[in-house]
């Protein structure tokens, strides 16, 4: 038992916080033998003798203090800030002391993305608010985001911070729609569900034609941890921290169904609180389990249920990161450690559980929110997603590409070599291209600008190429049909014949796309070929690259992307051409990778 003797004046003008010590009950935490009565009498006698001199000595714990308290400032994500603020209030009411100084904790609700953007030694309090001594975002993924900035990474903890609670990312799905596809008796996989709607499918196949096509809600992964986890689930479903072409195709398909894009999940939840037709709302969107539970408890007009992912869940882990910033001194670090001990105590953990959070080990505690009747499960996932910083950066970068408007001209090689049979497939290379192209066209969004040329030799009296579909929005009309339908018809009618007029076609297509260049879009000219240039009367490779260098404009980037299919493709020449424009060449290692790249090209998603 640590005791100290306090010399306290009996003057009634003492400030209130110090006067409290005069009237404190003498307490101790000793266990075992009772405190000897004789010692109490002796202490009281000494106190009585000294009272006449205007002072009182009290034996008490080291819990009182005097002077201006040292404040520990915590920036917590808005979802758990109310819980932490309540716990901080209780901790502060005990008038704690740390290193002989009064201590208190102040909790401020701040969006993790805002802290991540501002964090660094040069934190500007005028612009960004009070400097945090502790950062308590909803997910450690935000620490990975900050690590990409060296000046900010230097003030992060050197070891993984303690987790206060957890909540898995689930798919919040309209109950009626979830039940239509077999929930709760059947697990729902979003990728499998989307396959039923690719190419114009509707809810009719599930008995509800009135619901129309599948509509998906998405939260901005740049500002929302749930959105970030959603991107991980879409672009890396097997949780291996890499993104294959097949996974990228799944991401392309996903973007086709996104009908509502919000900065945060609360914006989407609020749309479900307003009375409107269910089919006008997204069927499903990523959200934290705890937020779905909180929403469901409010008895909204449209019920949402949690759909748990099959292949591992991303968890909000609510880290308590004590910063190594210049303004975080030893006293504040000690206050942080003592308050953390309070947060890990039984009372605090019960408070988090009551608010719908799981504990750090993902176990569900006593609460009235995560009930089985509402579809919540005790076991959330068999595996946990733990992306590394590199993978996170790559996936976010690709998501940005997928969201960007694309302006693409596709040029297809229809020379005689495309008649060759693909080994082991019993189809020609042109037929393989046609099948892949039709799959890609099905993934086009109406916001994609796309056009189509074919090339071989002397397709017109003056050129080796021929325009099949002019560049424009996929959903716009080309005569009596949509551009998407025109692309399908043109692809289906391709015939292979002639030599390969590669270089003249690339030069002409690049010039045509410069006239079609769009701001705020990814502008691409894509060439798909299985051979090398065979036009002896046309432009040479050296002259082509010289002309392209002269045409390239830094203020209007336009990339040439090449897909080299088959062993006869001149990958070296294509690489020298694409490099001039800032583009790249994809050399298909096999027919499967060729198909995937062609699908991406026709979906307008190569980069």
Per-residue pLDDT tens over the stretch 169-188: 999 999 999 999 999 988 88
Distance between CA atoms of residues 419 and 21, nearest Å: 95
Q: What is the pTM of this model?
A: 0.73
Q: Would you say the C-alpha torsion 17, 20, 22, 25 has a positive or negative sign?
A: negative
> In whole angstroms, what is the distance from residue 587 CA to residue 606 CA?
13
DSSP 556: S
Q: How many CA atoms lie within 13 A of 156 on its CB side?
A: 24
Quick: pLDDT tens for 385-423.
777 778 788 888 888 777 778 899 999 999 999 999 888
Closest CA to 314 of 233, 395, 399, 241: 233
Domains, the chain, ranges and CATH? 4-60 (no CATH), 70-156+319-356 (3.40.190.10), 167-316 (3.40.190.10), 404-602 (3.40.50.410)
Tokens representing residue 210 in the block: 């009135």
Which whole number is the average pLDDT over 203-209? 95
Residue 20 pLDDT more than 60? no
ω before 184 within 30° of 0 (cis)? yes
Taking alpha carbons only, the member of 584, 482, 572 closest to residue 532 is 572
Render pLDDT for 124-158 as a digit per residue (tens, 0 to 9).
999 999 999 999 999 999 999 898 888 899 999 99
- 184 Rama sector, left if φ>0, alpha if ψ -120 to 50, beta otherwise: alpha
- Measured in whole angstroms, the distance separating CA 121 from the mean position of its chain's CA atoms is 26
pLDDT of the residue at 606:
63
Residue 576: count other Cβ atoms within 10 Å of its Cβ: 16
Q: Contact, 27 vs 16, CB < 8 A?
A: no
- Bridge partners for 523 per DSSP: 407
CA separation, residue 204 to residues 156, 175, 201, 217 (Å): 52, 17, 8, 20
3-state SS class at 421: strand
pLDDT band at 198 (very low <50, low <70, confident <90, very high): confident
CA distances from 450 to 328, 363, 536, 597, 604 (A): 54, 50, 30, 16, 7
Average pLDDT (37-49) is 39
Q: Average model confidence (pLDDT) for the chain?
A: 85
- Give the pLDDT of residue 238: 79
As a whole-number percent, the residues of the chain with pLDDT over 90 amount to 60
* More confident: 21 or 221: 221
Q: Binning pLDDT at 50, 70 and 90, where does residue 55 land?
A: very low
266 is written with which tokens?
């609360």
CA–CA dist 351, 336 (Å, integer):
19
Residue 607 predicted with pLDDT over 70: no
> Checking phi first, is residue 312 left (phi over 0); if not, alpha (psi -120 to 50) or beta?
left
Min mean pLDDT across 214-228, 321-335, 378-392, 438-452 is at 378-392
Q: In a 3-state reduction of DSSP, which class is residue 496?
A: coil
* DSSP conformation letters of 395-419: HHHHHHHHHSEEEEEEEEE-SGGGG
Confidence (pLDDT) at 311: 73
Residue 189 backbone phi and psi in degrees, to 5: -105, 125
Q: Model confidence over 537-583: pLDDT tens digits?
A: 999 999 999 999 999 999 999 999 998 888 889 999 999 999 999 99
Mean pLDDT (whole number) for 471-486: 92
CA 13 to chain centre: 57
pLDDT above 80 for 479: yes
β-pair partners for 106: 73
Burial 98-119 (b: 16+ CB within 10 A, else e): beebbbbbebeebbbbebbbbb
Radius of gyration of the chain (CA): 33
Pairing of strands 101-109, 315-316: unpaired
| Of 450, 601, 602, the residue nearest 516 (C-alpha) | 450
Containing H/E element for 97? Answer: strand 97-98
Specify whether the CB–CB gap between 603 and 444 falls below 8 A.
yes
- Cβ neighbors of 130 (< 8 A, separation 6 or more) are 73, 106, 108
**Residues 523, 558: contact at Cβ < 8 Å?**
yes
User: Is residue 5 predicted with pLDDT exceeding 60?
Assistant: no
pLDDT of 151: 86
pLDDT(368) > 60: yes
Please say whether the dihedral angle defined by the alpha carbons of residues 543, 544, 545 and 551, taken in this order, is positive or negative: positive
Q: Express each pLDDT in 331-351 by its tens digit.
A: 999 999 999 999 999 999 999
For 416-485, strand residue ranges (E) read 449-455, 465-473, 477-478, 481-482
Judge whether residue 598 has pLDDT over 90: no
In whole angstroms, give the CA distance from residue 170 to residue 399: 19
265 within 8 A of 288, measured Cβ to Cβ: yes
């Amino acid at each position: 038992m640590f005791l100290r003797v306090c010399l306290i004046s009996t003057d009634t003008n003492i400030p209130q916080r110090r006067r409290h010590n005069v009237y404190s009950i003498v307490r101790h935490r000793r266990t075992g033998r009772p405190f000897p009565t004789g010692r109490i009498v002796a202490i009281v006698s000494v106190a009585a003798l000294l009272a006449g001199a205007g002072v009182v000595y009290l034996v008490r714990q080291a819990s009182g203090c005097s002077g201006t308290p040292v404040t520990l400032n915590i920036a917590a994500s808005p979802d758990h800030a109310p819980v932490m603020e309540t716990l901080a209030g209780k901790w502060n009411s005990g008038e704690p002391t740390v290193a002989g100084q009064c201590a208190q904790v102040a909790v401020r609700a701040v969006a993790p993305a805002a802290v991540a953007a501002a964090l660094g030694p040069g934190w500007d309090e005028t612009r960004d608010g009070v400097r945090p001594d502790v950062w308590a975002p909803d997910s450690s993924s935000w620490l990975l985001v900050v690590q990409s900035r060296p000046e900010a990474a230097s003030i992060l903890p050197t070891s993984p911070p303690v987790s206060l609670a957890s909540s898995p990312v689930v798919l919040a799905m309209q109950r009626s729609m979830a039940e239509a596809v077999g929930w709760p008796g059947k697990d729902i996989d979003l990728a499998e569900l989307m396959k039923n709607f690719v190419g114009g499918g509707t809810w009719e196949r599930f008995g509800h034609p009135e619901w129309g096509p599948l509509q998906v809600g998405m939260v901005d992964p740049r500002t929302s941890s749930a959105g970030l986890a959603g991107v991980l689930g879409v672009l890396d479903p097997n949780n291996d921290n890499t993104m294959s072409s097949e996974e990228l195709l799944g991401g392309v398909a996903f973007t086709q169904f996104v009908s509502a894009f919000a900065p945060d999940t609360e914006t989407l939840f609020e749309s479900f609180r307003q009375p409107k037709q269910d089919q006008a709302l997204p069927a499903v969107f990523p959200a934290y389990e705890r937020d779905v539970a909180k929403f469901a408890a409010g008895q909204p007009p449209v019920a949402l249920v949690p759909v748990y992912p099959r292949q591992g869940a991303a968890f909000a882990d609510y880290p308590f990161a004590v910063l190594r910033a210049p303004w975080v001194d030893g006293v504040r670090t000690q206050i942080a450690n003592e308050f953390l001990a309070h947060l890990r105590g039984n009372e605090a953990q019960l408070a988090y559980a009551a608010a719908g959070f799981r504990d750090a080990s993902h176990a569900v505690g006593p609460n009235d929110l995560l009930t089985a009747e509402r579809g919540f499960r005790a076991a959330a996932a068999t595996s946990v997603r733990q992306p590394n910083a590199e993978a996170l950066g790559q996936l976010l970068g690709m998501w940005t590409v997928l969201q960007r408007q694309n302006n693409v001209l596709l040029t297809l090689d229809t020379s005689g070599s495309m008649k060759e049979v693909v080994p082991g497939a019993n189809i020609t290379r042109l037929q393989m291209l046609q099948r892949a192209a039709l799959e890609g066209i099905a993934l086009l969004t109406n916001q994609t600008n796309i056009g189509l040329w074919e090339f071989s030799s002397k397709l017109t009296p003056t050129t080796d190429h021929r325009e099949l579909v002019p560049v424009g929005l996929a959903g716009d009309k080309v005569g009596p049909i949509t551009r998407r339908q025109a692309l399908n018809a043109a692809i289906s009618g391709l015939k292979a014949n002639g030599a390969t007029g590669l270089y003249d076609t690339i030069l002409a297509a690049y010039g045509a796309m410069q006239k079609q260049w769009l701001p705020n879009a990814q502008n691409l000219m894509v060439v798909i070929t299985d051979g090398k240039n065979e036009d002896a009367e046309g432009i040479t490779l050296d002259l082509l690259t010289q002309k392209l260098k002269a045409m390239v404009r830094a203020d209007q980037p336009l990339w040439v992307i090449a897909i080299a299919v088959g062993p006869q493709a001149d990958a070296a020449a294509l690489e020298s051409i694409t490099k001039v424009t800032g583009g790249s060449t994809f050399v298909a290692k096999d027919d499967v990778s060729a198909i995937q790249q062609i699908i991406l090209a026709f979906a307008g998603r190569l980069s």
